[in-house]
Chain A
Amino acid sequence: MMLYKLFLQQCIRSKEVWISLVLITLLGIVGIVIGNKHLERQQDTIAEVKTYQERHFDRQVSLHNDDLGLLLYYANFAHINNLNPLAGLSIGQSDVHPTVKRITIKTFEAQKYDTDLVNPMNLQSGNLDLSFVIIYLFPLLVIVLTFNAVSEETETGTWRLVAIQSKSKLRFIISKLLIRLMLLYVILIFLFFVAKLVLNLSLDIHFFWILGLSILYILFWFTVSFFIISFKKSSGFNALLLLSVWLVLLILVPAGINAYVTAKYPVPEALSTAIAQRDGYHVKWDTDKRATIEKFYQHYPQFKKYGYPTDGFNWLWYYAMQQMGDDDSEKEQNAFSEKIRLRENKSVQIASVIPNMHLQLTFNQLAGTSMSQQLEYLNATDEFHEKLRLFFYPKIFEGQLANTMDWSQFVPEYYKTKITLKPIKTIIPLIIASIVMIILSIPMIKRL
């Protein structure tokens, strides 16, 4: 016990160590505040949408009471991806993609990919959230705390004393590292505690997974550091090598992989889909009306009873055309989602061997802010859209009056992100990476 106390004192004696410990705690808190702001902004938007939607329908009903088809041309319905509070820890892709969508019952494809108002500079600089602090900055702190754990002893001449006096040199080094590891864990747990209070997190399984994975990730960096200091080179050399590892793992490798994925899977399908849905709907203004309506009935045989009104403009034909925007671009849509799926799979696959990338993707997954969850939300929005269509189509075709309906039932609908937890898949890459580092160090340990 006494030994550990001395180690602790030795470790925090240095001014640089103190400064970096305080700095990372502050940055962690800043990260949590930024995450909280992100969540608050979403809640503000939701509140705006709620009040807007009520007034919106009142106005539409008063303007177009006798023309339900026209009313629904304008009417917007909100579908909200209510962010999990954990999104405050890992903002992920929830800043690029809208989390509140307001849609009409017209062609869905034309609205599906509409973006929010975003400043691209903010996107590029990325979010300074807690996940960033954990993934980028904690490893640096590991480096600062450990790079001279052995070399300072050799450089100050105490190593020989240690070598004679302690039973095992390995145990000496490990205990020295362990005390530093504990110090970082204390800070990490403190930050999670702050996060729990500020973001009002529930202590559920996903919270503990994020914490647990962070703990493992820091352990991984300790094993990297252990490997490098076991060469027993000078402090300067260790610092240089550890920082190079950091630079390669956290900046160069991900950037290189990103360039690879972007080049390998370009997405022309996105643009093709955009054109296909436009043409799918708009050319129907010039083609045979009956053919359009027939095609519409093939999709929805239940509406056949409304017949084939082909004289002049009518809403049945109009919404049949709108439907064709979605139906006729199906081939392109499928190719598009297939491409996105390919990209996602490839990224996850590559990331599983790079601990930091793996951790980022897993954090996003656990916080409900990953790419795949965004796609699921879009698909759910599609279902929501379909539900609205099926509700309103017969009413429009029958020419019902708008005020015969209860519009107050159309409150914004909430979507809850599904978080699938694959414990083994999540944890294995980090454990394997740590074990590999330890195995690599074994030949060195023998020569300590």
Chain B
Amino acid sequence: MTKKLTAKYNDSCIKLFEFIKMLYEGDVEFKKVINHFSDGEYNGKSNTHVTLNKYLNAMKIFGIKVKKINHKYKMLSSPYKIKFDIDDLKSIKLLKQAGDILPEGKNKTNFEDFIRALEIRFDDSAQNICRVENSTQNLDLEFSNSEITDQLKYCAKLCKDKQKLEIIYTDDKGGEINLLCSPIEQIYEKRKHCLKVLGNNGSRVYDIPTDNIKSIKQLPISSSTQAIPTTVVYRIKNRLAKNYKIRDWERLDKIEYDGSQVIVNKNEDLNLLLHRLMRYGTQCTIISPKFLKEEMIERINKTLENYE
């Protein structure tokens, strides 16, 4: 170890690589860079800026792209690159879109740092694909939508403010629904961006596609922090019980002697859940809560009315 530290080295080589290390960590203030190259002795008169330009040119000619934006140096392509193909770039884009709906905080910062760490290491081919994509938007990722950015920001603010909302949205019949609710989080459901909210009675969860929202009014009342979403218990049997895959928000309560299973479900939009359970036909029955059981019976009755 001692031998390594006393071995002869080249100071300007170290300065250059340390500068690159700084750039890998994020944008670097001009002042910090000039101090780095002048060992903290820059007085505005020395020729450190000339030296700095020579280093920047060396980097540029080598293929490292560095741009000065608002008195900060930003590395656009690095000396160490990773080869990413078009499928990788699509995956990164999907992840980025999912990351956009994370609430502000450590998770979001950590995730954005990861994306930046990848983007800075894009090889030339990946950079070219991204450039083309940014100029033509020809990579159809289905839930890629530039207009959604403003919606995402607005929904993030609503979730952060934790105030009650009055939302007017259209349901699957095209009818207008006026809902008093508390925002929970933003999610993607069937590739659609949705705002997850808790109804005003504090028990019913709604996943409202933002495309269906006609207006949102923030009310001067704080959301209740004590509200707990309804727990739904239902029984599945026969072939469905054999093949059913428990969702992340569900748990298996028990297996009956006849092989049927009792599932406990929490935090799912009850309307979507009713649609899903209806699909299972006679192989599924809701056990509780009573009001949802009645809603299911009403749904069956209304469907039957079509044939009277």
Pairing of A with B: no
Chain A interface residues toward B at CB < 8 A: none
